[in-house]
Structures are given as C-alpha cells and as structure tokens.
Structure 1
C-alpha cells in the first residue's frame, strides 16, 4: 500500500530545539581548547609564480606536515621532488579558472574568527568527553575542487577545502555539481562538515552486521554527538537540511518509518538499498520523490535521540561503544 505523505504546511516547526538533549551541555569558557586555523590556502594562493621553486621551499619550511599531506593527496608526484612540485603548483595557481576560485576564497574567508570560535567550542566538548582523542590542527587549503577534506592516519592535521564553501550562488559551481548539493556549499556549513568528518574518523562503523538499521543508527549516533558538540546550531544544520526539508521530515516522520518497516527495508543488507537511504541525493527514493535525501541518517538520529531520552543514565562514551544496533532500536522506545 502506498503511504500518504503530507506536503509542507505553513506551520512553524522549531527545528532549533526539536530532539536536542541539553543534559550534555558544558561551560566552554572553562578549560577551553582554542583553535587557530592555519591558512595554507592563502599561502598557496600567494605563491610567487615567477620564483616558484624558492617559494615552494618556503611554504614547505613553514608548513612541513600539512604540505606533505596536501601534495600526496592532490598531486601525483612525491613531496620531496621540489622541481616537479613547484612546476605543478605554478601551473595550478595560474590556471584561469583556479585564479577565479582563489579570488573568491580570499573574499569569502578574509576573516575566519567566527569559524575558529565555533570549531574551538566543538573541540572543547570533544576534549571534555573524550580527552584521549587527538585534536588535530585545522588547515584551509584550495585544490581546484579536487579534494574536500584531507586527514592523516595519526590525525595530526585535518584540512578542509575552502573552495568548496564559496556560496550556493557561486556561478562556477553550477557546472561542477548537482543542484541539490549547492545548499550546503556555503561558508556556514564548513565547520559542521569538519567536525562531522572528525567524529566519523574517530567512531567508525564496527557492527558485525551491515544492515540498513546498523548503518542508520551508527550515523545517528554520530549526528547526535555532533549536535551536542555544536549546541548553537539548529538541528537542520547538523543533518544538512534546509528548514523546508527538515519540516517535511518532521511532518511525515510516522509515514517515513512505516515505509521503512512495511517494505522490510530496515533489516536489509542490500548495499544498493542502503545507499539510497544514506547517500546524499535529491530525495530518498525508497520513501518519496518529495522527500529530502539521507532520510536514513535522519531517522537514525531520531531513534538515538529517543534512546538517550529514555535511558538517561547512558553517557556519551557508553553510547558510542554500542554496536548492537538492533538492541539499541528495541530499547529506544521509538514510536513516531
């Protein structure tokens, strides 16, 4: 039977507080972990193309760790091959389209103090709840839209491509990405993506089974913690929805869940089906073409919220150790 979905109504749904759990709030003015963003993007943009070899050596001397990460990630030559690196970077920086992107980067990210403040708050939460986890240096870089995020195995540094966050109205994006992706390619989304990437690196999927429910709830755990670490953000920002998408999901939550269960998708191990629920897309195809994408992650977060509200003795550390996702679902009392 086809489920009935309700169109968006002119009703104000309070996305900033719906489902948020405040019992994990801390005073971030105490024992603060301050973050200073390292501007590798600016250093690269200002590279002296007339004396590229000497300029590359200066950049390497100033940023030895991230320089190696960057070259390894975006180039095919070894970082130690200074002449080839210099030649490739000179060609990259002087390419007309890249020059346009770089000018926009310098405009949009002329001042990053607000971003540093938000990342510092998230790092303070991370250090409070998980003090043994590394707190990598944060770097901005430009790659001509070839890489969005760069990390290393030891998590000494995390780099994020500032050229991916120049605004949904930035004209060159329209020929590079799908329309549905544009809404999150703005300055406001950068810190959310960075902290989300960190958490997914620290807390990797470790279930013995690889069903939709396992993947949904793993992602739901990470989204729940991301919301804790970024308390000033409305929940639609955390999940990457605009307010219309969030309100549609909230309004149709019961119908969404009924679809997942009635179609017996919830315990499916079909990777293609799982991707349809979790991957970024214009809509979640098993549910409705009117829906936002990634509803599996959204439902996963809602189930985790229900679980944590019902089991108030469970700590964040204990939550992240759970890998029996069917048991988590059963103990959540989730009933939309």
Structure 2
C-alpha cells in the first residue's frame, strides 16, 4: 500500500509540475507583441466602382494577373456568382474580429518558437471556392479565401465529395494557417520510405500541437470528431497491420495514395475500409512524433524537425495503446 501511495504522490507532483511549466509557457507567449494588419479585399472589391479598378490593381498587384484586362474585372463587379459568393461570406463573417484574435494568438505562438518570424499582412478575398488553395502563405502575405469556410453543408459545396466539404468550415481555418506555416519550416524528406513520409506529416501535425494548444485533434488533422474517435480506437490494429505487411520501409508510391493523400477513406484492402477516414498514415506518424516529444521534452521544435525519421522513430519507443 505504501508503494502505491508513493507512486501516486510522485505522479501528482509530476502532473502539477507539468501544468506549471505549460502555464509559464503560455504566459510568455501571451506577452509577445504582435501587430496584425488585416485587409478585407473582399469588401474593397465588392464596394468598388469600375473606375477604381486601376487603383485596386496598384494596391493589390498580386491579385490581378497582368494578362487579364480591366474589362474582366469590371464585369466581375456585377457578376451574379461573385455577388452571391460575397453575400454568403457576409452572412458567415459579419466581421472578422474573432478570426483576427485567433490569428494574433497563432502568430504569438509562432514567434515564441521562431522568434525572427515576420508576421505577414492578412488579406481576405473571394476565391470562387478554390478549396485546394484556401490559404496561401508567402513571406509577407497570408491570403484567405473566405468562401472556402461557409460550412460543409453549404449549397456552394453541393456535389463535392464529403471528405473535401467537411473541412470547408471556419473551425478549421486556424489549422489551415498553421499547416501552411508548418510547410515553411518542415522539409519534405529525401528518404522515400513510407515511415519517413508518415513522420514528415506527423511533424507537421505536431507543429500544430505547439501552435494551436486549444484546438481539438480533429481540427488539427481535418477529421470529424467521429473519424478522430475511430482513429484512436483502432490505432493498435492499424499499427499491427503496417508491421505485418512490412510497410514501414517500403518505397512503393501507392502507399501515399492509400494512407497519406486526401481521400474519402484509407485503403487497407479490407472490409472495414469504408469505415475509415483518409490519411490515417498521417495520424500514425503524428502519434510517433508525439511519443518522441513526450520522451524527449528537452529537444526544441527545430531540433525535432531536423531529426531523421529513422532516428526519431527508434528513440520514440512508440507503442500504440491496445
């Protein structure tokens, strides 16, 4: 009985210490100053007169391809689809204050881990539902197509595959921005093994863990809550499948399509496939990276990102829960 009591006392001290460390980190992050400039280009274009097009082109040259004549933009001002898209954006985003606060918090976290990072200017726009480029991040600009965040059941997304439409929700916007940033510091591996690519995506999701501590796991990876529950419940069986099929060190490109690329479901080639969410290989890579980070808390974010996948995997001591 004494031994058990000592164990729980030590465990309690460890939990309290961990919480205190997290609190200190968040206090330090909140103290970081961030000046965020948000420009509602969707508003400026919607309210423009034809004679203002040259002024807009001068202010936003990156949004007006040189080969497109002014007459096209003038027609867009009264285009039915453009007007309807803007009307629906205004319903979903009567203002951008909530998202602006979330972006400031996100950039505070980024600057904590990457102190020299220059916060980009944020420009919101109507992208005509270019869902595969709903967030574009450059050195100085963050472009957000607001018409890609109207909710999965929106009429504009009718006919889309569910695995695409489910992420077209404002709840996933910050995860998209964090993911765009993660790609700027997380190098795609030269090693072509399935393990290396799983760990690459796992690192990207772990960056989201650091930058979005209040986001749900489902929001970070783009799953529904039900899909996340399925992944957690079947983690051990998935891992056993990867081991038994000797997939970890395979360089077969088909594994990307089966387990890493966006898709309606993952392809184990079993009856249960239709129950699965896509991209489960990313989920498994995430758990490997999390295991490593938990066992090596002294390793910095950048040190972890630089670590080869094989080394990280071996030192993670990853063992999925049964």
Regarding TM over 0.5, the answer is yes
Answer whether contact 2:199 2:286 (CA < 8 A) is retained. Answer: yes
1:123 aligns with 2:107: yes
Q: Flag the 1:70–1:311 CA change in 2: closer, same or farther, 3 A.
A: same
1:292 aligns with 2:281: no
Mapped partners of 1:309, 1:130: distance in 2 = 21
1:173 aligns with 2:157: yes
Per-residue deviation at 1:280? Answer: 1.3
SS in 1 for 2:119: coil
* Corresponding residue of 1:234: 216
Answer whether contact 1:118 1:230 (CA < 8 A) is retained. Answer: no
* Corresponding residue of 1:42: 43
Q: Flag the 1:151–1:118 CA change in 2: closer, same or farther, 3 A.
A: closer
TM-score for both structures, normalised by structure 1: 0.82
* Corresponding residue of 2:6: none
1:5-84 residue pairs with structure 2 within 5 A? 25-27=25-27, 28-48=29-49, 52=50, 54-61=51-58, 64=59, 67-72=60-65, 77-78=66-67, 84=69
Answer whether contact 2:41 2:123 (CA < 8 A) is retained. Answer: yes
SS in 2 for 1:139: strand
Answer whether contact 1:192 1:238 (CA < 8 A) is retained. Answer: yes
1:88 aligns with 2:89: no
Mapped partners of 1:71, 1:196: distance in 2 = 26
* Corresponding residue of 2:291: 306
SS in 2 for 1:26: helix
1:190-269 residue pairs with structure 2 within 5 A? 190-205=173-188, 207-269=189-251
- Deviation digits for residues 25-51 of structure 1, max 9, x if unmatched? 422331232424221121122222xxx
User: Gaps (5+ residues) in structure 1?
Assistant: 1-20
The structure with the largest alpha-carbon Rg is 2
SS in 2 for 1:270: coil
1:181-192 residue pairs with structure 2 within 5 A? 181-192=164-175
- Deviation digits for residues 154-187 of structure 1, max 9, x if unmatched? x110201111111112112113x21222221112
Mapped partners of 2:86, 2:203: distance in 1 = 36
Structure number with greater CO (CA < 8 Å, separation at least 6) is 1
TM-score for both structures, normalised by structure 2: 0.85
Mapped partners of 1:191, 1:69: distance in 2 = 23
Mapped partners of 1:312, 1:149: distance in 2 = 31
- Deviation digits for residues 52-79 of structure 1, max 9, x if unmatched? 2x21122234xx3xx222224xxxx44x
Q: Flag the 1:93–1:286 CA change in 2: closer, same or farther, 3 A.
A: farther
- Deviation digits for residues 108-144 of structure 1, max 9, x if unmatched? 1121111111111111111111112332212111121
- Deviation digits for residues 188-207 of structure 1, max 9, x if unmatched? 211211121121123231x2
Mapped partners of 1:310, 1:235: distance in 2 = 20
Mapped partners of 2:146, 2:110: distance in 1 = 23
SS in 1 for 2:204: helix
Answer whether contact 1:150 1:160 (CA < 8 A) is retained. Answer: yes
Q: CA RMSD in A?
A: 1.9
Q: State how many pairs are aligned.
A: 294
Mapped partners of 1:140, 1:112: distance in 2 = 9
